[in-house]
Amino acid sequence: MLKVHSRCDLACDHCYVYEHADQSWRGKPVTMAVETMAQVAARIGEHARSQGLDRVHAVLHGGEPLLCGPERLSALIRALESGLPGDCELDLHIHTNGVLLDRRFCELFRAHGVKVGISLDGDRAANDRHRRYRDGRSSFDKVARAIELLRTGYPDLYSGLLCTIDIRNDPIAVYDALVSHDPPAIDLLLPHATWDDPPFRAGETDYADWLATIFDKWLADGRPVPVRTFDSIISTSQGGPALTESLGLEPSDLLVVETDGTFEQADSIKIAFDGAPETGTDVFRHSIDQVAEHEGVAARRRGRDGVSATCRACPVLESCGGGLFAHRYRAGSGFDNPSVFCADLKELIEHVQRRISVPRHIVPHAALRSIAAGQGTVEALTILQRGQRSIRRALITAVRDQAGPSPEWDLLRRVEPAIVDDVFSHPYNRVWAVGRLRHPDRRDDGRLAALACVAAARAGMSAALRVPVRDGAVFLPTVGRYEVPDAVETTVEIRSGEVTVERATAVRRVRFLDVGGHPLLVEDLDPLRDRHRRPVAGRLTDEQAGHWQVMFDAAWDLIATRCPEYVPTLTVALSTVVPVEGEPMGSSVRDAFGSVGVALPPDPETLCLLLLGETQRMKLGGVLDMLQLFDDRTSTASADTERLLFDSYARLAITDFRRRRPGGQTITEAATDVDVILASGSLTRLGREFVEEMRGTLDAWSA
Ligand code: SF4
């Protein structure tokens, strides 16, 4: 944030620059010198090179930056642009009160691709409450005219509206007024306050109530415009990144450069005490890397370790992050407190989560860490498994919604939900549901009718259902394949739980391996198992099935001896094996959690490696289904990095197994890949934590 002008033409009484504790603006030059900006650019360029950044964000700010005038502003922008490395893109914004905005400024901004954000507190009444000239005149008409100029003449520059909340304003009038300006985004900002200088309020959660009223309208309107506060809560509630500095645990990447070239912390901290944002550094003597070591700057980059003990124990910490750093201040304890808006933030976040029906499959941080560190605890894998059941159920329900009522749904409705859920949990049901949703016009393959029959049989019911015959057979998942030659349809009859299929000439029942008392389904019948990277094998002969049992017994014993803690987690995660053809190799499918494809190797040791490696891939797929480890917004996010993460995570278990045998292997390759992933810049904060946890495990083994 580059302070290019330190005075303002308005005198808003809620302004944190002039109206709060810090009065350092009085000693600063009015305008930033072009030479200072050149030095700013050199420092940003130096930082971009040292950190390998291909993009930097800068905001021209004040005071009121337009008071510089177009000529000085043009010179400052050119100085900034020319100081950056050629391969580093500049994402340049300006935040203005808008009253001076005219075509000259807009042409200048268009020439340099500067995006314009405007402060507006809502309708005329709301805006006039604070945003006035020193003599009390309203600024509303001029600001509205500036927004109209942007909206109609320079829509490519219009980046959004920033609204400071006053709970005395009517929330719906404020929202409607903001939306009427057609902004590309809206920021709803809590007024600046600390525990020593608390916000105006009548009740404990006034701000939550005010924001929730807007949220409900915004949701009912179909979310017509991004509202960063709401989008950030939704994103973090679903494991994604925070989208605003004032919420979430993302490390702060904001620094301020004052008009005299001094580096300061986020200027909202000005509300705490006089001199609060100072760092004692400046662009002439210090690099940005040096400023980053300043205690105040570093404190805002420590994620959960940087918030108070109360916040660390808070269930909405991922979304809240303890609120804006400045709002935590209290004389005596400094910033080691929850936000002065704590009750509001908690209430608002829970309201948003309730209204958008965020699935309650939250992965607690400790569970995620245990998965990242290696095989994961049983509790953590149970959470993943529950999440997968939920996803399957949601997808199958979506198929029902798409296809409409049918006799099979009628039958399923009569079965106890827990049994239906269990029947739906077969890994390849998700493959089926995804296929149906993608290709609703394809002819019915009878899977749903088959599932309804299996559910009715498990419930001990009596029923009959017409089921399509495909490739001369009816396949009932987890029961078997019934050969029904020369038919397009048949009747499946269930009598007190017993299944008979009309005109069936043969039945091939599914088989289970007994691995240490855990029944492992050998899936060699399901027509949908054919999704692995290798051709799937046909039905195993009895002799082959016997050999599989012997091999799995030996492999299970080996795992239990060498890595006993893997046995319970394998038992939770692995329900199905699919025999595949070719060289000994494993394979897992993202849509079939719980199942791995195996080409049986000649020795149990290799079978252990296949099972452990593929189960790891499966677990990571389950994590990625629930949490966002990769940042969609980064240009560097790539399929290659994701593939590397899958490979490295699989190798974590393989390495663990190998290192425990005599003369264990080195782990250089796995560690190197982890470094590449961390350097890719494509991870979210959660993603970084995950990969750093992997790194911690590898480092511990190295040591
Ligand atoms: S809601 Fe309160 S306790 Fe929870 S993280 Fe936010 S500020 Fe901290």
Dihedral over Cα of 99, 100, 103, 107: its sign: negative
Mean per-residue pLDDT, 592-620: 93
What does each C-alpha distance from 334 to 156, 287, 311, 331, 606 come to in angstroms? 42, 27, 15, 6, 57
Instruction: Name the band, by pLDDT with cuts 50, 70 and 90, for residue 451.
Output: very high
Q: Tokens 């250089």: give the residue.
A: 668
Task: Calculate what percentage of the chain has a pLDDT beyond 90.
Answer: 62
Q: Tokens 């040292």: give the residue.
A: 50
Cβ of 338 closer than 6 Å to ligand 1, yes or no, is yes
Spatial CA neighbour of 494 closest among 525, 530, 453: 453
Instruction: Determine the distance separating the centroid of ligand 1 and the alpha carbon of 351, expressed in angstroms.
Output: 14
For 584, left (φ over 0), alpha (ψ -120 to 50), or beta? beta
Dihedral over Cα of 35, 293, 345, 625: its sign: positive
Contact 79, 23 (CB under 8 A): no
Number of residues that make up the chain: 703
**In this structure, what DSSP letter does residue 251 have?**
P
Cβ of 239 closer than 6 Å to ligand 1, yes or no, is no
Burial of 696 (0-12, 13-18, 19+ CB in 10 A): middle
* 5: phi then psi, degrees, rounded to nearest 5: -145, 130
Asked whether the predicted pLDDT for residue 180 surpasses 90, the reply is yes
* 439: phi then psi, degrees, rounded to nearest 5: -130, 70
pLDDT tens per residue, range 505-549:
999 999 999 998 999 999 999 999 887 777 889 999 999 999 999
Structure tokens at 84: 């950056």
Determine the Cα angle at 583 with ends 581 and 585, to 5°. 85
Radius of gyration of the chain (CA): 31
Structure tokens at 678: 């961390």
Instruction: Determine the distance separating the centroid of ligand 1 and the alpha carbon of 322, expressed in angstroms.
Output: 5
Contact 83, 38 (CB under 8 A): yes
Contact 661, 562 (CB under 8 A): yes
Residue nearest ligand 1's atom 1 by CA:
346
pLDDT tens per residue, range 396-427:
988 888 888 889 999 998 998 889 999 999 99
Position 493 scores a pLDDT of: 95
More confident residue, 444 or 499: 499
Q: How far apart are CA 684 and CA 691, in angstroms?
A: 10
Q: Quote the mean pLDDT of the chain.
A: 89
* 276: phi then psi, degrees, rounded to nearest 5: -55, -40
Instruction: Determine the distance separating the centroid of ligand 1 and the alpha carbon of 636, expressed in angstroms.
Output: 32
Position 357 scores a pLDDT of: 67
Cβ of 601 closer than 6 Å to ligand 1, yes or no, is no
Spatial CA neighbour of 244 closest among 258, 229, 254: 229
Instruction: Determine the distance separating the centroid of ligand 1 and the alpha carbon of 311, expressed in angstroms.
Output: 5
Determine the Cα angle at 575 with ends 368 and 644, to 5°. 45
pLDDT tens per residue, range 55-88:
899 999 988 999 999 999 999 999 999 888 888 8
Structure tokens at 644: 């590397």
* 387: phi then psi, degrees, rounded to nearest 5: -60, -40
Asked whether the predicted pLDDT for residue 25 surpasses 80, the reply is no
Asked whether the predicted pLDDT for residue 680 surpasses 90, the reply is no
Structure tokens at 254: 């904001």
Q: Show Cβ contacts of residue 249 under 8 Å, excluding neighbours closer than 6 positions.
A: 242, 303, 304, 307, 317, 318, 321, 685
Contact 126, 174 (CB under 8 A): yes
Q: Which atom of ligand 1 is nearest to the CA of 307?
A: 8
Helix (H) / strand (E) element for 681: namely none
Provide the residue type at 95 as one letter: H
Q: How far apart are CA 215 and CA 172, in angstroms?
A: 10
Q: Which atom of ligand 1 is nearest to the CA of 308?
A: 8
Contact 654, 586 (CB under 8 A): no
* 693: phi then psi, degrees, rounded to nearest 5: -65, -45
pTM: 0.63
Contact 626, 387 (CB under 8 A): yes
Instruction: Determine the distance separating the centroid of ligand 1 and the alpha carbon of 564, expressed in angstroms.
Output: 40
